[in-house]
Amino acid sequence: MHVTVLFFAGQRDITGSTSLVVQLAQPACVGDLWQELVLRYPRLAPFGASMLFAVDHEFAVRETPLHDGAEVALIPPVSGGAPPPLLHVSDAPLDPAALVAAVAAPAMGATVTFAGVARDNFAGRATASLEYQAYLPMAEQVLASIASDARERFGTGAIAIHHRIGHLAIGETAVLVVVAAAHRRAAFAAAEWIMDRVKQIAPIWKREHWADGTAEWIGNEQTRPRGDAQV
């Protein structure tokens, strides 16, 4: 089948086009189309957590089936100020209030915020500071994939994930996960699952700068020494 995709705002800058005809194998749904577009234009991936879709001028979800000749509009967040990106990796301090506002929606009755903070110890050793590095071209795409998977798995609304890189003092926030959902159980479950996935697959690495002046790169949860408290 052939479907026509319409792009708006920053999507047009990424694709260099206002529209595109895409060929898909039948049967196909909106989610299949989105996966094909991200393969062609990887920079679209960060839009995934906040993207709305319309098929033939009607709002649709990823499971909505497509037909030959369908017109699919990819609708980014509407204007009205400059909200922060929902998936972001940077060396700037993290702002939870801005992300709570960014995911808010009238139908969402619960918002859960998780903040991972640099602590002064690890595996029984005193920590002076932390350092994070990331493979930036891939990191935000992975965060977008995690957010998209969480929305489908837990049925949440918008999800924001911001991760800090660079040098962090003790007490500074290293990662924020903000989840909006209709009910609290889904929001809490999604936030915990997201943090587990970030630690497992995001190309972001942590280095402990010990109080004795030495430093060490630390692996994921599975490689932590027994008895170490998990964040």
For the chain, give every domain's residue range.
2-75, 87-223
pLDDT at residue 52 in the model: 79
Report the chain's mean pLDDT, rounded to a whole number.
88
3-state secondary structure at position 110: strand
pLDDT at residue 231 in the model: 42
- Per-residue tokens: 87: 């998936």
At 226, is the pLDDT very low, low, confident or very high (cuts 50, 70, 90)? Answer: very low
Give the predicted TM-score (pTM) of the model: 0.63
- Per-residue tokens: 142: 């992975």
At 49, is the pLDDT very low, low, confident or very high (cuts 50, 70, 90)? Answer: low
Q: 48 vs 154, which has greater pLDDT?
A: 154
pLDDT at residue 227 in the model: 40
User: Fold for domain 2-75?
Assistant: Ubiquitin-like (UB roll) (3.10.20)
Domain 87-223, CATH? 3.90.1170.40
pLDDT at residue 230 in the model: 42
Phi, psi (5° rounding) for residue 129? Answer: -165, 170
In whole angstroms, give the CA distance from residue 3 to residue 95.
Answer: 39
**157, 148 contact by CB (below 8 A):** no
